[in-house]
Structure 1
Amino acid sequence: MAGSTTTTDVSTGANETSVGDLDGSIVAVLGYLLPILGLVFFLIDDNDFVRYHGLHSFLYGLVAAVVFPVSFTFGVGAGLVADGVLGALMALFLFPILPLAIAVLPLYFLYNAYTGGTYAVFGLKQIVTAVV
């Protein structure tokens, strides 16, 4: 229809998906378990909720794939190179805490997708919402 506008509402996980008989929230959760699946769901599904979480999981996976090894390298390097309290504090923060946060945060995303919410971190929500 010419002149009509549609709005994208990703705030609720609609039940209808292109992925078999699965509920939208289950498909979104599957995307967080394996980010490449999130990209596949983003590309093939018509459900905006699934597309939102699919793209978000893929982008978060890309960010984590870069940040995790960098933080690990700097954390170990800080502990080896820097002497004293500063080196110990840098190694204490960068080595265990940041990688742990990167690994645990997707669990919150899983829960949020399963309950029908839309949460994003590090500016990804603006990017994902603009694309979906």
Structure 2
Amino acid sequence: MKVKVAKWGNSLGVRLPRAAAQSVGVTDGSELDLTLEADGFRLRKPVKTSARRLAEMLDETKRRGLKPPDLVDWGRDRGSEIIDDDYSRGLIGPGPDGTPMRIVSPEKRDARSRRR
């Protein structure tokens, strides 16, 4: 099947004929994987990965009659797991005027910029 390449902004675009798009389930807004090959391009639908929730996986173990794994008690924290440094306390070093700079969450940063 031949298609025509056309300029689209600073890029080039290819229009997919409706029958071709429908046959592979591509709709407006679909994302495709573009692979460069020795003799051209390959355009494919991405392989779907199954991102199942923990609850779904536990339900499946029950349906199959399997026993869920036992919980492991690792004991109490011994201290080396806890990192206590400036970065963990939200400090990222001295600012231009020598005062400590703090990490600001994006939510707080956005709220500050709206107030100005």
User: TM-score when scaled to structure 2?
Assistant: 0.20
Structure with a larger share of its residues in helix: 1
Higher relative contact order structure (alpha carbons within 8 Å, sequence separation ≥ 6)? 1
Q: Answer with 1 or 2: which has the greater Rg.
A: 2
